[in-house]
């Protein structure tokens, strides 16, 4: 077994770290004295730990939460922290604009905002200060992208208006001033050298980084009890919140065969390793309903690392992709250590609260969804608009012939131990005309089909009302009467 630390680049300098297999990047940075990257929640929620990651020399930088990023996944990648952002001559434009706009009070959240905004700014076209007022309008695409860029960052004293004003002001800086420093330094051609597949094996545990499915399967034969880690945005909370330890972690992040993403006719095949950001970007044109919704799944930091396979693998009753995919008759392809493949309907794949059919040595390869051309909607209610998990999620797909429903699929999250289909309601809808009376009958019938719990997010009674009303909203939209939520309405409309 090869035994090495993880080799990566930090603010232009090479680093090697031999640590625990589940050490987070944040833990490493703070032990190294780079305390500009803050620890707020240690669970991906507040954005105070935001850093920028570069997968390759000269590649674009994307924001990520250092608090839930396993450092062992950074082999031959680059990390830029707030300490490496400005140069001796000038601050980054977002830093200068935050000062000018009074965008910082206690300052605890500021480095996280700076990194999220600097990453965003580096990818924006130049604008003038006279565009500034326009940016605040909901429909303005650059203003919208600025709001989205900071949706994974919390500030508890300044308020978001001056922070956003700083983002808009920074756009007036010439493009050459906004360029980010390369986090790789001299001699960084090391990235083209072969990468060891076991990057860490310590007394605390092993960490594998297979490059292809063949290697993954070989590792799973050797270590049938190994835990897979894709983005780590769910799994690493076990480490930071519950102090769990894993004797063997296997990262799927480098396996290209898991990154297949194909759309054809009204179907799609989505590899388990496709990140939520990539899915969002492609779906914006190939599956617009999903593409638009994905802005409400986590934050940019979470979507940049979180994957489709991780969302299915968690089998969380409040995960978003589960009800969406259940309504699209999804089928999961599973591989195993011996190279076998099997396909399972998603509804069968989910067996209970955070439980799936996956046995030892098995992994999710991809998921196939269909019916993309049918009418479909997904509605998610959360306590907070940005970066929040669902209280209830309702997904609806209808195949219509005129106003007659040929096929109905309804799936819900947050109202049972697992995401599930409401088959009795589907049967009630199929073969009949979609009329206002039918919608009211269905609204009244939903209650008997679900048994939600009361918890910190909502009471059972509220979840009943939400589910019935969201389903009625979807059915109403299918008649052509689309309603908009308060968040979609222009403030001055
Ligand atoms: C702040 C925050 C906000 C979030 N918001 C949302 C939200 O709005 N909606 C939502 O749905 N989720 C949300 N999540 C949960 C999480 O980000 C998503 O579920 C994400 O898709 C998980 O993907 P991952 O790659 O990070 O999974 P990981 O954390 O890497 O893995 C999760 C689980 O899946 C297993 N797994 C991963 N890949 C495979 C595979 N190929 N085969 C078999 N098992 C596998 C792992 O072993 C683990 O058990 C949020 C999380 C955080 C921290
Ligand atoms: S410390 Fe809060 S997101 Fe990382
Ligand atoms: S400035 Fe204090 S939390 Fe944002």
pLDDT at 166 over 70: yes
Determine, yes or no, domain membership for 55: yes
Gap between the Cα atoms of 292 and 283, Å rounded: 8
Give the residue numbers spanning the domain of 415.
385-478
Task: Decide which of 338, 370, 402 is a domain's last residue.
Answer: 370
Higher per-residue confidence, 192 vs 411: 411
| pLDDT tens digits along 90-103 | 999 999 999 999 99
Ligand 2 centre to CA of 105 (Å) is 19
Structural domain total, the chain: 4
Gap between the Cα atoms of 462 and 57, Å rounded: 51
In this structure, the answer to whether residues 473 and 401 fall within a common structural domain is yes
- Dmax (CA) for the chain in angstroms is 71
| Confidence category of residue 492, pLDDT binned at 50, 70, 90 | very low
Structure tokens at 44: 């991906």
Q: Is 107 in the pocket of ligand 3 (CB under 6 A)?
A: yes
Ligand 3, atom 4: nearest CA belongs to which residue? 155
In this structure, the answer to whether residues 321 and 294 fall within a common structural domain is yes
Gap between the Cα atoms of 72 and 207, Å rounded: 7
Q: Can you give the pLDDT at residue 284? A: 95
| Confidence category of residue 136, pLDDT binned at 50, 70, 90 | confident
Determine, yes or no, domain membership for 457: yes
| pLDDT tens digits along 447-485 | 899 989 899 899 999 999 999 999 999 999 999 987 776
Tokens 């972690």 belong to residue: 249
Find the CATH number of the domain harbouring 446: 3.30.390.50
* Other Cβ atoms closer than 10 A to 148: 14
Gap between the Cα atoms of 336 and 342, Å rounded: 9
* Distant-in-sequence, close-in-space partners of 464: CB < 8 Å, separation ≥ 6: 446, 447, 450, 452
Determine, yes or no, domain membership for 104: yes
pLDDT at 493 over 70: no
CA distances from 241 to 64, 72, 109 (A): 18, 19, 21
Closest ligand 1 atom to 321 CA: 11
Alpha-carbon torsion 481, 487, 488, 489, what sign?
positive
In this structure, the answer to whether residues 71 and 200 fall within a common structural domain is yes
| pLDDT tens digits along 54-98 | 999 989 999 999 999 999 999 999 999 999 999 878 999 999 999
Q: Rounded mean pLDDT of the chain?
A: 92
Query: Within 13 A of 154's CA, how many CA atoms are on the CB side?
Result: 15
In this structure, the answer to whether residues 266 and 339 fall within a common structural domain is yes
Ligand 1 centre to CA of 235 (Å) is 7
In this structure, the answer to whether residues 268 and 201 fall within a common structural domain is no
In this structure, the answer to whether residues 202 and 295 fall within a common structural domain is no
Q: Can you give the pLDDT at residue 195? A: 56
Q: Is 106 in the pocket of ligand 3 (CB under 6 A)?
A: yes
Determine, yes or no, domain membership for 211: no
Task: Give, in degrees to the nearest 5, the angle at Cα 389 between 388 and 391.
Answer: 115
Determine, yes or no, domain membership for 202: yes
Ligand 1 centre to CA of 275 (Å) is 10
Ligand 1 centre to CA of 427 (Å) is 32
Q: Can you give the pLDDT at residue 1? A: 42
Mutate to test the pocket of ligand 3, among 41, 117, 158 (most ligand atoms within 8 A of CB): 158
Determine, yes or no, domain membership for 426: yes
Find the CATH number of the domain harbouring 115: 1.10.150.120
Burial class of residue 116 in the structure, from the number of CB atoms within 10 Å of its CB (0-12 exposed, 13-18 middle, 19+ buried): buried
Determine, yes or no, domain membership for 489: no
Ligand closest to the CA atom of residue 158: 3
In this structure, the answer to whether residues 332 and 306 fall within a common structural domain is yes
Closest ligand 3 atom to 104 CA: 1
Q: Quick one: DSSP state of residue 452?
A: P
In this structure, the answer to whether residues 75 and 199 fall within a common structural domain is yes
Ligand 2 centre to CA of 40 (Å) is 5
Determine, yes or no, domain membership for 123: yes
Tokens 């597949």 belong to residue: 197
Find the CATH number of the domain harbouring 347: 3.30.465.10
* Distant-in-sequence, close-in-space partners of 379: CB < 8 Å, separation ≥ 6: 393, 394, 395, 470, 473, 474
């Amino acid at each position: 077994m090869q035994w090495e630390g993880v080799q990566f680049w930090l603010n232009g300098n090479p680093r090697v770290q031999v640590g625990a297999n589940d050490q987070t990047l944040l833990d490493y940075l703070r032990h190294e004295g780079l305390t500009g990257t803050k620890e707020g929640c240690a669970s991906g929620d507040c954005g105070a730990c935001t850093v920028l990651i570069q997968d390759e020399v000269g590649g674009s930088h994307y924001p990520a939460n250092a608090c839930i990023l396993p450092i062992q996944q950074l082999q031959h990648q680059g990390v830029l922290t707030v300490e490496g952002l400005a140069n001796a001559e000038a601050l980054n434009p977002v830093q200068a604009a935050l000062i000018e706009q009074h965008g910082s009070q206690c300052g605890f959240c500021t480095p996280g905002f700076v990194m999220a905004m600097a990453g965003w700014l580096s990818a924006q076209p130049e604008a003038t200060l006279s565009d500034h007022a326009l940016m605040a309008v909901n429909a303005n695409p650059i203003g919208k992208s600025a709001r989205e860029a900071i949706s994974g960052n919390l500030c508890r004293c300044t308020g978001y208006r001056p922070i956003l004003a700083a983002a808009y002001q920074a756009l007036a800086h010439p493009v050459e001033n906004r360029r980010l420093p390369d986090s790789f330094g001299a001699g960084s051609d090391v990235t083209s050298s072969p990468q060891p597949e076991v990057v860490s094996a310590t007394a605390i545990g092993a960490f594998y980084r297979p490059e292809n499915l063949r290697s993954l399967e070989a590792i799973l034969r050797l270590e049938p009890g190994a835990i897979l880690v894709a983005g780590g945005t769910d799994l690493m909370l076990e480490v930071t919140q519950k102090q769990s330890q894993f004797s063997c972690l296997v990262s799927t992040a480098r396996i290209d065969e898991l990154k297949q993403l194909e759309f054809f006719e009204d179907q799609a095949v989505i590899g388990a390793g496709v990140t939520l950001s990539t899915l969002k970007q492609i779906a914006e044109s190939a599956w617009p309903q999903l593409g638009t919704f994905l802005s409400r799944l986590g934050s940019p930091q979470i979507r940049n690392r979180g994957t489709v396979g991780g969302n299915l693998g968690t089998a969380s009753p409040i995960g978003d992709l589960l009800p969406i995919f259940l309504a699209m008759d999804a089928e999961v392809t599973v591989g195993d250590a011996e190279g076998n493949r099997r396909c399972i309907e998603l509804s069968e794949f989910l067996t209970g609260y955070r439980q799936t059919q996956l046995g030892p040595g098995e992994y999710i390869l991809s998921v196939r969804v269909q019916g993309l051309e049918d009418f479909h909607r997904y509605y998610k209610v959360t306590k907070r608009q940005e970066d929040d998990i669902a209280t209830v999620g309702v997904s609806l797909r209808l195949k219509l012939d005129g106003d007659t429903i040929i096929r109905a699929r309804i799936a819900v999250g947050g109202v049972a131990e697992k995401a599930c289909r409401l088959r009795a309601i589907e049967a009630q809808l199929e073969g009949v005309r979609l009329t206002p009376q039918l919608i009211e009958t269905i609204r009244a019938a939903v209650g008997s089909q679900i048994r939600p719990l009361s918890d910190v997010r909502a009471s059972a009674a509220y979840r009943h009302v939400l589910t019935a009303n969201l389903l009625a909203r979807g059915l109403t939209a299918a008649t052509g009467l689309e309603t908009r939520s308060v968040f979609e309405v222009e403030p001055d409309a």
